[in-house]
Each structure stands twice: as C-alpha cells, then as structure tokens.
Structure 1
Amino acid sequence: MQKTEIERLFSYLDETATYLEKNWTSTYLEGLAEAGENLFQKDVCQPLTDEKVKALADFLEDVSSDSEYEPEDIRKAYQLAVLKGMKGAVQSHHSMTPDAVCLFLSYLVNKVIHKKEVVTLLDLAVGSGNLVSALLNHSTTKMVAKGFEVDETLVKLAFVNANLQKHELDLFHQDSIEPLAIPEVDLVVTDLPVGFYPKDDVASSYNLNAAEGHSFIHHLMIEQALKKTKDGGFLFFVVPNFLFESEQAQSLHQFIKKEATILGLLKLPDSMFQAEQHGKSIFMLQKKGSDIIQPQQALLAELPSFSKKEALADMIQQINKWFSSELGIM
C-alpha cells in the first residue's frame, strides 16, 4: 500500500532522528531538528564519516524529490515525530498542544481577525512550533508571527519546522518573562506553561509578582502578553482549569479585569487529559481600548469531545451565534 505524504515524511524524520541518536551525539529530539534541516537544505549537514553521510543521504533520497509538500502535511508529520521524541524526554515542560486544540484555536482566531489585512501574532511559549504553525497554516488573513522559547532543543525544532513550511516567523531563544524588545502585536496565542517562575528578581517588576515565594509563570505570562498587545487586541490562552483557584488567583482576576475584557472560557473535553487535575481550558480576552464592544455576557461552555462531530458542530453554531450577538462578528 502506498504511503501518504504524512507517512513518508514521518518515516524519514523518524529514521533519521533514530539513526543520529544511535550514531552521533544527539538525543532523538535533537536528531529530529537535524533531520528537518537536512530536508530543508536537501543535503546532509552533519559532520560525519562518509559511511554515515551515505546512510543519511539514502533516507533523504526517499523524500527530497521535486514534489512540494503541503505545509499541513509537514506540520503533522513533524508533530508525530516530536510526540514520539517527547515520550522519551524527561523534561516536564516538553509537551505539545494537541492537534484538535490547535485547529479549534485557529477557528476562534479567524473569527476575530477576519477584517484585518495583516495580523501580527505573538506566542510567548512557542515550544516546537506546532501551535503557531497551525495558526499560520489555517489563517484567513496574512499573519506575521513572533515566538519565544527558552528551551534550546525546542526552539531549534520550531525554527526548522517554520523553514520547512515557509512561514514568516521570527523566533527568539529567550525567557519571555524577561523584558522583550518587540513592538506590540494584534494577537497573542499561547499554551501557557504551568508552575513557578524561578527568577524572583525578574518577577519583582510585575504586578502579579507573589508577595512571598516564587510567582506563577502562567500569571506572569498573562501579564507580559497584555503588556505586549495593542489596545483592542485579542488574547487566547490554553490555561489549567484551576487557574482561578490558587492563593494568588484573586490578584490575577483583579489585574485582568483592570486591563482586559474577559470574552470567554471554553473547557476542553476531559477525555483529552490523562487525569482531571491536568484538564485545561481556552481563555479568551480582549485588551481594553476605545473601540471595543463589551459583551453582555461572556462565552462559558464545556466543549464536547472533538471526535463527536454532531455535538461539536452544534457547539460551533452556538459559538458563532455568540460572536454575532455579543461582538457583532459574523
């Protein structure tokens, strides 16, 4: 049976990453970035023996024909390989936004940007680039994106991912809680890392700095995102369901009320998460500004399982109705 383009690409990425893990000084994820780089350059870039270069060139020959791959095929193949690599990685921050969530966020983002000719997008925790590239692939408007990532392996994966998909994405290997020398953007979309932020000296300049002990990184990132969003700009976060249950939740809620309008909170299906305490939601905000429409009521809903097509179609209809009646967005 003939392989699909996604299967061909995944096989190439997986075989090359596995080979480099065994025959070079790289982890599987690092090997994956190298595999992507070879595919982008259409050549073997690693300084290896002739025999090993030949083996890598053979893998490359299977996929680097003249056929152009669709960006979504590249993203999905890359995503599958990264997921495989993350199973073997020990770092807790190595996790990926599920595909269904990326596509649902694309739908929400397209609702709010539909009238703009060009949109500037910021992701403060870009990871391996899966979420940002899904948004770029599905955007109905020209999108210019910036992404920050503190992990060196992940930022390299995101860089190669963007190159292969020919995306306009500026990547910064930097802790995004530290001061950022970038202009304000129209839109922020981030799957927030959850936990404590270790640099108390950096956190001390934030309104949401904890009175004692470490501050929550997910709180600081929301504040940084609002600081970097234009007046009237939109923000979409993937947040833990317990966001407003911690001892620092009250100050977070007060800060958000002062700076933004809460548009909605959409609880993701429980079936997506291994345990209830890992459950997440999509948190929708609009930064305050002179022309914004204050909704009479926020959009609060529990999303059905993404595999239940009819229930999901019904939910999307209800969400479309909310955008139309509350924000005047068709």
Structure 2
Amino acid sequence: MMTPVERLFTVLDETAQILQEELQCTYLEAVAETGENLFHGDVLQDEVSELNAKRLKKQYRELVLDRFQNEEIRKAFQLAALKGMRQHVQPHHQMTPDAVSLFLAYLVRRFTRPHLALTILDPAVGTANLLTAVLNGLSGKQAKSYGVDVDDLLVKLAYVNANLQKHAVQLFNQDSLRPLFVEPADVVVCDLPVGYYPDDDNASRFALKAEEGRSYAHHLLIEQSLRYTKDGGYLFFLIPNTLFSSPQAQQLNTFLKETAIVQGVLQLPLSMFQHEQAAKSVFILQKKGPMAKPPKNVLLAELPRFSNKTAMQAMMAKIEAWIANEKGS
C-alpha cells in the first residue's frame, strides 16, 4: 500500500517523464509543467500528442488534490524536484533538507507566537520548499509571503509548488540584492547561498561590501534581509559554520552589533553533511527596534541527529525552556 506522498510522487514522476520526452526538455522543467497541469486538471502544452494527452489527463483526474494535506504535497513535490536536481547538478540548486525545513518551521512558529498575522520573506526562495514548510507550520495565522530568486526555472517550480499547496506567495524573478518590491517583513527565512557576488557595482551599495576583491553574496544577503525586516522582526538563516571565521568576518560582526540582536546559534548535526566544511547552523537574529531586547543568554546548542528521538526531545525541551524564560511565551 502506497503512502499519500509516494502516490503523489509516482504520478508527478511518471507524468513528468512523459512530458520530458514530448517537450524535449529536462526532467526538472517537466516537473514544473506537470505540476501546472495537475493544478489545472488539464494538459496545457499544445505539443503533446493526442495519445499522451489522454494518458496524462487520466492520471491527473484520478488524483484528487483536495484529499492530500499540504505537507504531503510539499514532500512529494520536493522528491520530484530533488530527482531533477540530481540529474542537473548546479551549485545553487541545493534544497534545504526536510528535517531542517521542519525545524525552522517550528522555530518560526514559536518565536512569532503572539502574532496573529505575519509577513514572511525568503530572499533566496529556490523551489519554495523551505518557505512552504514554514507556512504549513503556521496554521491559524494569517500569513502573507514573498519569495525572490534569480533563477527563472526555480521561480516557476516555486510558483507551482505554492499553487498546489494553495499558498498565495508573491514571487519575484530577480537578483535578490537589487531593490525589492516587497513590504517590510515580520520574519525572514533563508538558506543562504554561499559564495562571491559577481556584480561589484551593485555590491558597492552595501555596508558589507568587501574592502578589496569580491564581496560575499551571503554577507550582502544578510544585510539586504535586515533592510527589508520590520524593527523587532526575526530572521532565521541557515549559515555556513565558517561564517565567523572567514576573512570578512570582523566586518560582519561589527555590522551585526549595530543593526541586530543575536538570539541564537544552533549547530546542525555534522552527520547531515558530506564534508565538515559544508556544515551549517541555524542563525537567529532580531532586527533592533524600540521593543527588541537582547536575551539574557543567547540560545547556543549543538543539535543531535534529528533521527535520535530521545536526544531531540531533550533538545526541544531546552529550547522551550529558553523561549519561556526569554520571551515569556
């Protein structure tokens, strides 16, 4: 017996393979096309042969989307996107691991408990896997969300992913370090793309531009995110563990002292990463503002393996105690 996630993935996978052949495109492009078809319950591509159009329509008809939960849709779509990314590996086509997305969703929910309505921004939205995981964790709150990405295929996948889950996400296909057409957010979530930023002219608009040579894109993205966060708003970043030992770390430290309050640093288990130098942490910031207070103690922890339930429960209890003590909620 298939689980709902397996059933939905099987349909996405089989129909994407038909479209890949018919449209002469990559599997990843075909996932975006079949997701769009599934949402409309029809075959939208004129190039598809009559026989295959019938086969596709039959599969779409037999799958009633309303019977699936959002998390099931998100996970199935993520599996199809991951399959496509493995076939065409590009360094910026990296998806946030599922356990990490769910953990970030939990943190956002806990830190924003008093809010009834939220505006959320992901300035490197990718396929919207992380953003929709966070939105799925905020049931009962009104959430307005924005996603930005420079890669047009990823933005199309994000659009389809959000549609299938019925999330009204406003998406922008642009360089995230250019001026954004979004309102200031209560929350920023971002798996920071790590590397150098190629546009030196644009980098010169930032306080965190390199004093010499190329600027770090991930540093500029932290600064850009703070620009578009409301006073007192929270930012949840996935950062490389080397963030504070890199050549431009001193500049970043000085900037953060002036603009933000560090709430926590939670190191992800090293076992999640193939190489230690690729390891990441969750970095929680709050933008300075009249109501924002520094914590008595910054939340610092090394997270156990997510599969270790006992250790994970103990860690969650520690985080809950910290939130109750620091935030009173």
Instruction: Report 1:64-213 matches (<5 A).
Output: 65=64, 67-140=66-139, 141-213=141-213
Local SS of the residue matching 1:3: coil
Identify the residue that residue 233 of structure 1 maps to in structure 2: 233
Structure 1: 5+ residue stretches without partners: none
Identify the residue that residue 325 of structure 1 maps to in structure 2: 325
CA distance in 1, matches of 2:132, 2:267: 23
Structure 2: 5+ residue stretches without partners: none
CA distance in 2, matches of 1:46, 1:213: 46
CA contact (8 A) 2:262 2:294 kept: no
CA distance in 1, matches of 2:21, 2:42: 20
Identify the residue that residue 34 of structure 1 maps to in structure 2: 33
Amino acid at match of 2:167: H
CA distance in 1, matches of 2:234, 2:180: 19
1:217-266 Cα offsets, whole Å, 9 max, x none, are: 10000000000001000000001110011111100111011000001100
Deviation at 1:325, TM superposition (A): 1.6
Are residues 67 and 181 of structure 1, via their aligned partners in 2, closer, same or farther at CA, if it must alter by over 3 Å? closer
Instruction: Report 1:206-221 matches (<5 A).
Output: 206-221=206-221
1:190-237 Cα offsets, whole Å, 9 max, x none, are: 000000111111111000011122111100000000000010000000
Deviates more, 1:229-238 or 1:138-147: 138-147
Whether 1:44 and 2:40 are equivalent positions in the alignment is no
Are residues 281 and 66 of structure 1, via their aligned partners in 2, closer, same or farther at CA, if it must alter by over 3 Å? closer
CA distance in 1, matches of 2:142, 2:67: 21
CA distance in 1, matches of 2:171, 2:164: 14
Deviation at 1:115, TM superposition (A): 0.9
CA distance in 2, matches of 1:59, 1:291: 53
Deviation at 1:4, TM superposition (A): 2.0
Amino acid at match of 2:241: N
1:154-183 Cα offsets, whole Å, 9 max, x none, are: 110100011111002111111110111222
Q: Tell me the TM-score normalised to structure 2 length.
A: 0.97
Deviation at 1:62, TM superposition (A): 3.4
Are residues 260 and 89 of structure 1, via their aligned partners in 2, closer, same or farther at CA, if it must alter by over 3 Å? same
CA distance in 2, matches of 1:286, 1:184: 14
CA distance in 1, matches of 2:92, 2:19: 23
CA contact (8 A) 1:15 1:59 kept: no
Query: In percent, how many aligned pairs have the same letter?
Result: 52
Q: Tell me the TM-score normalised to structure 1 length.
A: 0.96
Stretches (4+) displaced over 3 A: none
Identify the residue that residue 303 of structure 1 maps to in structure 2: 303
CA contact (8 A) 1:294 1:327 kept: no
Local SS of the residue matching 2:44: coil
